[in-house]
Structure 1
Amino acid sequence: MTMRRATAAGAMVLAMMHAGAAAGSDPPATDTAPGSPVVFAPATISGPAHDSAPAFSPDGTSVYFTRSNAAQSTIFVSRRRGERWSEPQVAPFSGEWNDMEPAFAPDGSWLVFVSNRPAAAGGAPIEATYNGGVQKGGNLWRVERKGGGWSEPVRLPDAVNPNPSTFAPSVAADGSLWFMTTDATSGRFRLYRAPFRDGRYHAAEPLPFSDGGTTDVDPAVAPDESFVVFGSGRRPNVGIDLFIAFRDGDGWKEPVWLGERINSSGSDAEPRLGPDHATVYFSSERVVPVAFPRSRAQAQTDTARMLAWDDGNYNIWSVSLQPWLSSAKSSAPPRSQP
């Protein structure tokens, strides 16, 4: 989740949008060797604030994402116009409270997101205690497609809102919800799954590879639940890095670190799957390397890029998961439904 980054990735700092920032998705000035992440819609969606957690409509023509700093978090929407993305606008169901981390149902008919809005009308905003103190809390809320708009948000039941520290939803094809919340014993975040059966959510259970011994966050599950990408503080590094775990029959294989090409020296988190379910979009503090010495003209270009988006705050990057998916597919055993 985004607003907890006071410890996971440093305090969030809002910068003003550079007046000359391009309104389109220009080619990123970054390493584009095979397997290297590329920045998503620089200066439009990836801007100078913290931008994270993109949720793409199934047809890939719209994206809802979180834009935040240390004081506020809001869900924005952008529409694809050919090869470019429109200037983001506040989503119709967001803006009044601290909202973040949207996630589409795979068929696009509804969307779930995190908010600290009061659980009951007239109540107090949700607060929680984690990371050593009182923080803005969060519960999961759902909005339904209504023609070209959305319904009023409805809080989901306690089965998927077990406490006020419930964040980072991801939706499976059968409606089951994955999310993160704090472990009652260790206090660390870990991953949970709430099955959807007989028209209702059943009590969430922790994932077997997320035992509360290390911090696990931000699950992005495949629609068929054959794999999940998530952030974790487990080894080889101490900070939050990206991992992938695959189904193994009725269980799960050991999570695999996605490597140093994808995981930068900063924080890499908030993974989300793209419409093809084979591309992962994630948030990273990485910046484009600068070669010295350089010309004064190049210094001007580098500075303009820094003001537009390349400032070390979270930006959204993407990379193909195909090498891991192909390897897993070649050795995957049959499994029953979860």
Structure 2
Amino acid sequence: MKTDPVGGRFRLHVASYDGVKYRHVDGLPFSTGAFNDVDPSIDTNEKFLVFSSDRGASVNGSKPGPERLFIAFNPRSPDALVCALEIPGWTNKSESQIESRLSPDERTLYFSSRHLDDSARSTKAAWNHGSINIWMIPLRPNLWRAAKSASAACRSHA
């Protein structure tokens, strides 16, 4: 990721490797600099990329909103499909979801957030005090991708 010289927001980039060296760095087509796009995590086959972005958040002038998790399918394509990752039970949109990482088998997504866990077993836990914690959720990218329907391309459930 790198700051866009025009808008001053972070963009995601890619550098192709030809087996000997990395070639020219290009911006990913879906990451235009209109929003802060940060913390990319791509699967080994480069079919999807999980990242954090303030797209969809209210932006006050030049001040960006909180970053939320998104997934981009076919991220190198000009027609990349970008979907918000809506986590069931996470209704507080003011807390960022950042620093995404995929597990080695790419079935679990780890990320950081100040989100408070309201479940009964952890309400009084010492860690549940609004500091940045590491969270993990099962990741099944197909849940955010509809079957080739342009009008319902992204699903909002897990």
TM above 0.5, yes or no, is yes
Who is 1:270 aligned against? Answer: 99
- Could you say if the C-alpha distance between residues 286 and 253 of structure 1 is closer, same or farther in structure 2, counting changes exceeding 3 Å? same
In the alignment, the residues of structure 2 paired with residue 200 and residue 311 of structure 1 have an alpha-carbon distance, to the nearest angstrom, of 46
Who is 2:132 aligned against? Answer: 314
1:204 and 2:21 aligned: no
SS in 1 for 2:99: strand
Q: Is the 8 A contact 2:117 2:128 kept in 1?
A: yes
CA deviation digits over 1:117-141, x for unaligned, max 9?
A: xxxxxxxxxxxxxxxxxxxxxxxxx
Amino acid at match of 2:133: N
Shift of 1:249: 9.0
In the alignment, the residues of structure 1 paired with residue 49 and residue 7 of structure 2 have an alpha-carbon distance, to the nearest angstrom, of 23
In the alignment, the residues of structure 1 paired with residue 69 and residue 89 of structure 2 have an alpha-carbon distance, to the nearest angstrom, of 8
1:325 and 2:142 aligned: yes
CA deviation digits over 1:18-52, x for unaligned, max 9?
A: xxxxxxxxxxxxxxxxxxxxxxxxxxxxxxxxxxx
Who is 2:36 aligned against? Answer: 215
Q: 1:256 aligns with which of 78, 83, 107?
A: 83
In the alignment, the residues of structure 2 paired with residue 287 and residue 189 of structure 1 have an alpha-carbon distance, to the nearest angstrom, of 27
1:234 and 2:55 aligned: yes
Q: What pairs with 1:289-300 in structure 2 (closer than 5 Å)?
A: 289=118
Q: Is the 8 A contact 2:29 2:77 kept in 1?
A: no
In the alignment, the residues of structure 2 paired with residue 289 and residue 326 of structure 1 have an alpha-carbon distance, to the nearest angstrom, of 24
Amino acid at match of 1:283: S
- Could you say if the C-alpha distance between residues 235 and 206 of structure 1 is closer, same or farther in structure 2, counting changes exceeding 3 Å? same
- Runs (4+) of structure 1 exceeding 3 A deviation are 248-252, 326-331
Q: TM-score, normalised by structure 1?
A: 0.37
Q: Is the 8 A contact 1:242 1:268 kept in 2?
A: yes
Shift of 1:318: 1.0
Structure with the largest fraction of helix:
1
In the alignment, the residues of structure 1 paired with residue 71 and residue 89 of structure 2 have an alpha-carbon distance, to the nearest angstrom, of 12
Q: Is the 8 A contact 1:245 1:252 kept in 2?
A: no
Amino acid at match of 1:313: S
In the alignment, the residues of structure 1 paired with residue 25 and residue 73 of structure 2 have an alpha-carbon distance, to the nearest angstrom, of 20
Shift of 1:264: 5.3
Shift of 1:262: 7.1
Shift of 1:251: 3.7
Q: Is the 8 A contact 1:264 1:286 kept in 2?
A: no
- Could you say if the C-alpha distance between residues 258 and 290 of structure 1 is closer, same or farther in structure 2, counting changes exceeding 3 Å? closer
Shift of 1:326: 5.4
CA deviation digits over 1:179-212, x for unaligned, max 9?
A: x111111111110111111411112111000000
SS in 2 for 1:244: strand
Q: Is the 8 A contact 1:241 1:263 kept in 2?
A: no
In the alignment, the residues of structure 2 paired with residue 248 and residue 194 of structure 1 have an alpha-carbon distance, to the nearest angstrom, of 13
Shift of 1:215: 0.7
Shift of 1:257: 0.7
Which blocks of at least 5 consecutive residues in structure 2 are unaligned? 59-64, 149-158
Q: 1:195 aligns with which of 8, 12, 16?
A: 16
| Identical-pair percentage | 36
In the alignment, the residues of structure 2 paired with residue 251 and residue 319 of structure 1 have an alpha-carbon distance, to the nearest angstrom, of 29
In the alignment, the residues of structure 1 paired with residue 39 and residue 75 of structure 2 have an alpha-carbon distance, to the nearest angstrom, of 21
- Could you say if the C-alpha distance between residues 325 and 260 of structure 1 is closer, same or farther in structure 2, counting changes exceeding 3 Å? closer
In the alignment, the residues of structure 1 paired with residue 4 and residue 102 of structure 2 have an alpha-carbon distance, to the nearest angstrom, of 25
- Could you say if the C-alpha distance between residues 250 and 241 of structure 1 is closer, same or farther in structure 2, counting changes exceeding 3 Å? closer
In the alignment, the residues of structure 1 paired with residue 68 and residue 29 of structure 2 have an alpha-carbon distance, to the nearest angstrom, of 19
In the alignment, the residues of structure 2 paired with residue 248 and residue 284 of structure 1 have an alpha-carbon distance, to the nearest angstrom, of 24
Tell me how large the CA RMSD over aligned residues is. 2.7
